[in-house]
Structure 1
Amino acid sequence: MLRKLADVDREVENVLKRFGIPCLKQEQRTILNCLIQNRDCVAVLPTGFGKSLPFQLYLPVKRALVGDNSYGKVIVCCPLVSLMQDQVNKLTSLGLVTAAFRCKDKETDELIEAGEVDIIYTSPESLVGDSHWRSTIQRLNVTAIVVDEFHTIATWGGLEADEEGKVFRKWLRHLGEIRSLYPGASLLALSATCTKTIKRRVTDVLGLKDYDFITMSPHKTNIKYIVKKVDPQIESSMIWILDIIRQMKENFPHMPKIEELIEMYHSETSEEKKKKAIENLTNDSLLRVVVATSALGMGVNVATCHNVIRYGPPKSAVDFLQETGRDGRDGQHSCAILLFHGHQLRNVDQDIKDFLKSTECRRLQLLKPFLSDEELRSVQSTSTGQHVCCDICEQICSCQSCSFTVMEKAVKNLPFVDDILESSGSDSDSDTISYEYDSGDDLNNDTN
C-alpha cells in the first residue's frame, strides 16, 4: 500500500541526492508518477531533457514506498547498443540498482535469467525475436516496461502493417507482444521526436489506448541549421574539417597530434575503441572529432558537442532531428550541418527534400511535421530572420552584429555546387545512411 504524497516526495528527494540532481522537472515527475501508479505513458521530450531519469528512479523510490527491497524488475527495450551501454555504466557507478544488457556476455545473461538484475536492457531482437530467451525471462516479476527511442518502431519497423518483408528491423513492429508477457506491468514509451503519423503507428503496435501523453516541442533555439550541396567525392567534401584542426595545431603548437583528436565509431570498430570513444565523449577529454555511423546511438549524452555534421541526407525529418539532437545539450550556440549531393536524394522522404530545397526558413520547414500552425507561428516570431536561425535567415538578418563560429565560416567557404535537386531522381548512388544492424546479421549476438 502506497503512503501519502509527502512520503513519495521525501523518497524522490532522497534518491535524487544519489544522482546528484536537486529536483525533477515537472514532466519527469509526471512520468515517475505514472510508473509508481502503474499507468501507461508516452513521453516525447527534447534530446538532453533527461527522459531516462524517471524510470531509473522508479525502482529505488517504489521499493522504499512499499518496504520491499526486492520489488519488481524493469525491462528497457532499446534499438541502440551504445545507448544501453552508456546508461548501464552510469547506473552501475551509482550502486542504487543493478543494471545490465543482454548479450554482453554469457555470465551477464545468466545473472539476468536468475533474477539478479534490476533494470534489464535488451534489443527488440532479443526481447520478442528470441523465443527461448523470452520464455526464460517471462517468469521474472517485471513491473514496468520501457520502450526507448519508440519512433524507430515506425522509422525502422515500417509505418504500414503490410511492410514486413522490406523493413530495416522487423522485430520493432512486434513489440506489442511484450504486453502479453507481463500483463500487469505499466508501459513507458520514450522519444525525442514524434509526428502525428508515427504516434498513431506506435500506439497501435504497442496496444496503447488509455495512457498519459507528455510532450514538448522539438524546437531547440540554440541550434543553427546549415545546408550545403557538395562535390560527390567524399574526400573533397570533408577534407576541410582536417584543415580546421591543422590550423588549430599551427596556432597552438603544444596541442596533441591530430590523430589523438579524431576517433572512428562504426559497426566494425573494436569494443575497446568503442568504450574509449564513449568515455572520451561523455567526459572532459582531448577528443574533438568523431566520425561515426548511427552505431554511436542517438541518446548518448555528449554535453559539450556544438557541431553535428551529417554527410548525406537522412531518410526523414525525424531522423535528422534525432541525430542533431545531441548537439548543443549545454544550451550553447551550436550548428547542425547537412552536406549532400543530388545522387543521395532518391530514397529520402519528401519532408527532407522540402527542407533541402527551401528558399525560406529551414527551421520552420524542418518543424512542420511536428508542430501545429500556432506553434509554428510562435517559432517564426522568435527565431526566423536571425543569423543564428539557419543559413537562409542569415542572409536576411538585420541585427548589424552578425558573428560566426570557425565551423560556420569554414562551411560558408566551401565551393558552391548548384542545382540542388537536379539529380534527385538518379539511380547512380544510394543514400549514405549506415545503421547499426544489417538484415543479414545475427542480431541477437550483435554488439555494435
Structure 2
Amino acid sequence: MSPLLALNKYFGYDSFRPGQAEIIDKILHKQNTLAIMPTGGGKSLCYQIPALVLPGLTLVISPLISLMKDQVDALNDNDIPAAYINSTLDYAEVSANFVKARNGQIKLLYIAPERLESPRFLASLNTLAISLIAVDEAHCISQWGHDFRPSYLSLAASISQISQTPPILALTATATNQVAQDICTRLQINSSNQIKTGFARPNLTFKVVKGQDTLSFLLKYLKNNPTQSGIIYASTRKMVEKIGTFLQEKQIAAVIYHAGLSEHVRRQNQEDFLFERANVIVATNAFGMGINKSNVRFVIHAQTPGSIEAYYQEAGRAGRDGLPSEAILLYHSQDMLTQRFFIDNSEADESYKTNQYQKIQDITHYVNTEVCLQQYIVRYFGQEIDPCGKCSNCTDERLTHDITIETQKILSCVIRMHERFGKKLVAQVLYGSKNKKIAELAFNQLSTFGIMHSMHLKDIEMLIDYLLASGYLVADSSQYPTLSVTKLGSSVLQGNHQVSQKVTQATQTTTLTDIDLTLFEHLRQLRLDIARKQAVPPFVIFSDTTLQELCSVQPKTLDDMLNIRGIGTNKLAKYGQLFLDELLKYANESAKNQVIQ
C-alpha cells in the first residue's frame, strides 16, 4: 500500500500537509529524521502512515500516558490495530499487549521511555520485528529544552541495543535551533534530515491581557462562550483549586486537574473533559501534553508560565483541528516571582538554572512587546513571518504616546548606577524610595533619584519591562538579573531616537465561523450520542473540522461524503449513513419551514 492510499483509506485525506510526505519518504528510505511541526500540524501521521506501509511494528516512545490512550483509541476505531504499555496497565495486560506485538497482531506499540531503562524489557524488544522507532516530544531529550526529562537522556543508548537498527523519527512542536541540534546529536540524525514546517499557527489569535482581575475575566469570557471547549492553565495547584471552585460555584461546567489529585480523580476529570461532560478544565501543566482533543477552542493562561516554549506548547492545544481559536495570557507581575521560586528551589545545576532564568526574561519580554505576538513567538524559534493582523497587538487601536523623556530618565539612571543593579532597585531610585539600601549606596544623591516620583512604582517597573522587550535595555541571565543600556538605548540618550508606547490593553471573545450553527449543533449532538455508546471521546468519531465541512457542503449521498476531509472508507462505513440521515432530515425540515413562511 502506498502512503497516499493509506492516507485516503484510513484518514480520509487526499493529500499530505506540508512536510509530511517528505518526512515519510525519508523514513521509508530508512533515514533517521527530525520533524519539527507545530501542534496540530499532523506529526502523528508521520509515523502512523509508515506503520501501515512498513511490514513490521512501529514502536512509539512517548512520555505522555494520556496521548497513548487517546491515539490508541482513535487508531483502533479506525481499524488500525494498536496498543500501549505503561504504568496504568497491570502485568497481565502488559503481557497480553506484548504477545499481540510479537504475533504481528498490532501495527503500533506505544511505550513510556522509562520502560527502556529495564534490560529485561530491552531484551524482549529484540524478539519483535520493529520497522520504525518514533520518539515523540523529542525536545525532552535536551537539557536546553523547556521540558527536559532525565528518562530521555539514556534513550539513545537504549535504542542502540535494539538489534534490528530501524530508522528513528524524532518529533517535536517546540525546539529552538540549540535544542534541535542537541536532539540530532543525541539520536544520530544528520542535520540535512531536519525538517521544519514552520512554527506559525495561523488559526490561533494570541492575546495578552494585563491588569485585570483573573476570576472576573474568566467568568465573563466563559459566559460569552458557553458552548466552547477550553483549557485554563495555572502555575500552582492552589490557583487551580481556587479557579475551579469559583467556576463551579458560578454554575460553569468545569473540572480540575493537577498532580495532587488521586489518579482516579485525574482520570475521571480528564474523561469528563474529553467526552464533553465538562466544557472547561482548569489545570497545571501536568495536564494536556499529548491530549488529542482537537476541538479546544481556547486556552487561557491564568498565570504566566516560565518560558515561551512552555507557553506556546500549552497555547497550541487550542485549535488542533485548524479552526479559529484563541490563546489568551493573563499577565500579573507576581507570576514571575512564582516561576523564580520554582527555579530557586529546584535541584538542577547552576548552568540549567541560568538557562531557566533567561527563559523567564524571554516570556516577560513577550508580554511587554508591542510587535505582533505570533511574529514574536515564531521569531524566538528562528523563523520570520509577517504580522498576523489579528493578535491583541496587531488589532490594538490605542493612540501611541511619546515616552522618549521617560525612557531617557530610566536609561540615565541605569548608567549612573553603573549598570550593576536590577529592575526593582532602579525603579525605587527613580521613584525616590526611602529604602535603606538606597541610602547605604548613596543612590539618594544621584540626579535621577526621585525624578519619576509622579508615577506609581509598579508603573515604572512595567515601563522598564517594556524597554527590555523593545531592546533599549538588556538584562543578564543570572538569578538576580542586572540591567545595562544597549546600543539602541544609547541612541535614545543621545537624542537620535524617539520612543513611543501604547496605553492599556483590550480583550475579548472567540470567532464564530460562517456556517449554519443550528445544523452544526445537531451534528455535534449526534457525534456525542455515538461516542457515548462506544465509550470513546467525540473527536475520535469526527473532528469539528469535518462537522463544519459537512455543514458547508451538506452532501446528499454517501459517495458525496467521501469528498469531505476526514471521512475515509472506514469512517464512511461506520458512521456515514447516520450522519447522512441527520443531514437529509435537517434539509427537509428547513425546506418545510421555508414553505410555511
Report the TM-score, using the length of structure 1 for normalisation.
0.71
**Who is 1:95 aligned against?**
79
Aligned counterparts, 1:287-436, within 5 A: 287-345=278-336, 346=340, 347=343, 348=357, 349=359, 350-372=361-383, 375-376=384-385, 379-380=386-387, 383=388, 386=389, 388-391=390-393, 393-395=395-397, 418=459, 419-420=461-462
2:195 paired with 1:201: no
SS at match of 1:121: strand
Deviates more, 1:172-181 or 1:344-353: 344-353
The separation in 2 between residues aligned to 1:352 and 1:245, in whole angstroms, is 26
**Who is 2:128 aligned against?**
140
**Who is 2:88 aligned against?**
104
SS at match of 1:238: helix
> Which amino acid in the other structure matches residue 195 of structure 1?
T
SS at match of 2:2: helix
- Cα deviation for residue 81 of structure 1 reads 1.4
- Cα deviation for residue 22 of structure 1 reads 3.4
- Cα deviation for residue 274 of structure 1 reads 4.8
Aligned counterparts, 1:209-248, within 5 A: 209=190, 212-230=193-211, 237-245=214-222
1:32 to 24, 36, 60: 24
Contact 1:99 1:119 in 2 (8 A): yes
Cα 1:211–1:102 change in 2 (3 A) is: farther
The higher-RCO structure (CA 8 Å, 6+ apart) is 1
2:40 to 24, 48, 51: 48
Contact 1:88 1:101 in 2 (8 A): no
The separation in 2 between residues aligned to 1:110 and 1:44, in whole angstroms, is 34
2:5 to 13, 22, 36: 13
> Which amino acid in the other structure matches residue 141 of structure 1?
A
**Who is 2:151 aligned against?**
171
> Which amino acid in the other structure matches residue 44 of structure 1?
I
Contact 2:83 2:97 in 1 (8 A): no
SS at match of 1:294: coil
SS at match of 1:296: coil
The separation in 1 between residues aligned to 2:373 and 2:158, in whole angstroms, is 39
Cα 1:210–1:195 change in 2 (3 A) is: closer
SS at match of 2:364: helix
SS at match of 2:19: helix
Contact 2:177 2:382 in 1 (8 A): no
Residue ranges of structure 1 left out of the alignment (5+ in a row): 1-6, 64-71, 161-166, 250-255, 399-416, 428-448
The separation in 2 between residues aligned to 1:120 and 1:58, in whole angstroms, is 13
- Cα deviation for residue 52 of structure 1 reads 0.5
> Which amino acid in the other structure matches residue 60 of structure 2?
V
2:63 paired with 1:79: yes
Residue ranges of structure 2 left out of the alignment (5+ in a row): 227-247, 344-356, 401-457, 466-474, 481-597
Contact 1:227 1:337 in 2 (8 A): yes
The separation in 2 between residues aligned to 1:331 and 1:26, in whole angstroms, is 14
- Post-superposition Cα deviations, 1:382-404, rounded to whole Å, max 9, x if no partner, equal x2xx4x22346423599xxxxxx
SS at match of 2:286: helix
Identity, % of aligned positions: 26
The separation in 2 between residues aligned to 1:426 and 1:342, in whole angstroms, is 17
The separation in 1 between residues aligned to 2:370 and 2:224, in whole angstroms, is 33
RMSD between superposed Cα atoms in Å:
3.4
Higher alpha-carbon Rg: 2
- Post-superposition Cα deviations, 1:335-382, rounded to whole Å, max 9, x if no partner, equal 21112332332355132122122233333322222234xx24xx23xx
Contact 2:253 2:280 in 1 (8 A): yes
